[in-house]
Amino acid sequence: MSMLKKERYRVFVDYFSTHQPHAETELHYSNPFELLIAVILSAQCTDKRINQVTPKLFERYPSPEALAASTSDEVFTYIRSVSYPNNKAKHLVGMATILVNEFKSEVPSSVSDLQKMPGVGRKTANVIASVIFQAPTMAVDTHVFRVANRMGLSSKATTPLAVEKQLTKNLPIDKIHIAHHWLILHGRYTCLARTPKCEQCPLNWMCKYYAHQHTTTALLKAEKAAERKKMSVKKKKIRKTARIPQ
C-alpha cells in the first residue's frame, strides 16, 4: 500500500529531528558577509574546495568595504581553484559594492533584496535567508532536488522551483530551514546521485525510488524465471519429438 504524502513527511521530519537535530551548512564562516561570499563561491563547486580558499580570502577582505575597493583581477588570484573563478570574482566585487551602497554594508534578510546582488540567484538567497535569519525558505540544489523526488516528498516536480513549493507547503514551518540541511547531507553522504546507498538508508522502507527499484527487480526476476520455464518446456517438447520413430 502506498504511503500517504502527509505520513511520508511526518516520518521524514521525525527521523531527522531525532537523529540530526543540529544539521547545518558545511561551509566555514563566522558572519553573514562571509557566508554570502562562501555561498556565491559554492555554486557548481564543492564545499570542501570552498573551505580551502576562503580563509585567505576572508583575511584579505574582512568587510564589504574592503572587497568593494578591490578589483576582480585581484580577487581572482584568491579563488582561481574554484569553478568559474572569473565570473565569481566579478560577482564578489559587484556584490560587495551593492552591499556598501544600498544596504549599509549589512547583508539583507529578504530574498528579493538578496537577489539584487550579482551572483545571488534564488537558491543562494534562500540559503542566506534560512541559515542566517532562520527564514522558512527552501534552497533547492541538486541534492535537495534529487532526494526530495526519490523519497517521494515531491512528486512530478521537474524544476527546482516546483520542488521548493512542494517542500515549503508540506513541511512544518519551523522545520523548513533545517530540512534543507537534512536533504543536502542525506544526498551528499547516502542518497548519492549515481549509486545511492539504499541498503544503508534508514528511510528506505518509505522511499518511493527504493520501492520502485525493488518492484522492478522483482518483476525482472519473475519475467526471467517465466522465460526460463518456457524455454525448458520447449526443449523437452523438442527432445520428445526427436525420440518419436519416423
Q: Which residues form the catalytic set?
A: 123, 141
Q: Output the CA angle 120-122-128, nearest 5 degrees.
A: 65
75 by Cβ neighbours in 10 Å (0-12 / 13-18 / 19+) ranks as buried
Which region, left, alpha or beta, applies to residue 211 given φ > 0 means left and ψ of -120 to 50 means alpha?
alpha
Residues near 208 by Cβ (< 8 Å), separated by ≥ 6? 150, 151, 152
Q: Does 142 bind ligand SF4 (CB under 6 A)?
A: no
Residue 156 CB, shortest distance to ligand SF4, in Å, is: 17
**Contact positions with ligand SF4 (CB under 6 A) in 115-134:** none
Cβ closer to ligand SF4: 8 or 150? 150
Q: Which is nearer to ligand SF4, 120 or 147 (CB)?
A: 147
Would you count residue 70 as binding ligand SF4 (CB under 6 A)? no
Q: How many residues belong to the site for ligand SF4 (CB under 6 A)?
A: 14
With vertex at residue 143, the alpha carbon angle to CA 34 and CA 16, rounded to the nearest 5 degrees, is: 90
Of the CA atoms within 13 Å of residue 96, those in its CB half-sphere come to 24
Which of 133, 195, 198, 232 touches ligand SF4 (CB under 6 A)?
Answer: 198
Residue 23 contacts residue 178 (beta carbons within 8 Å) = yes
Of 19, 169, 197, 235, the one binding ligand SF4 (CB under 6 A) is 197
**Quick count: other Cβ atoms within 10 Å of Cβ 176?**
20
Q: Which is nearer to ligand SF4, 33 or 209 (CB)?
A: 209
Interacting residues with ligand SF4 between 200 and 229 (CB under 6 A): 201, 203-204, 207, 209-210
171 exposure class (CB count in 10 Å sphere: 0-12, 13-18, 19+): buried
- 197's CB contacts (< 8 A; 6+ apart) are 190, 191
160 or 196: CB nearest ligand SF4? 196
Report CA-CA distances (Å) from 75 to 45, 158, 232.
17, 36, 71
Binding window for ligand SF4 (CB under 6 A); candidates: 6-14, 153-161, 166-174, 196-204: 196-204
CB nearer to ligand SF4: pick between 78 and 210:
210
Q: Does 16 bind ligand SF4 (CB under 6 A)?
A: no
**How far does Cα 121 stand from its chain's mean position?**
15
What is the nearest approach in angstroms of ligand SF4 to the Cβ of residue 19?
A: 14
Q: Is residue 196 part of the contact set for ligand SF4 (CB under 6 A)?
A: yes
Q: Considering only residues 148-187, where is the footprint of ligand SF4 by CB under 6 A?
A: 150-151
Where along the sequence are the contacts to ligand SF4 (CB under 6 A)?
A: 147, 150-151, 190-191, 196-198, 201, 203-204, 207, 209-210
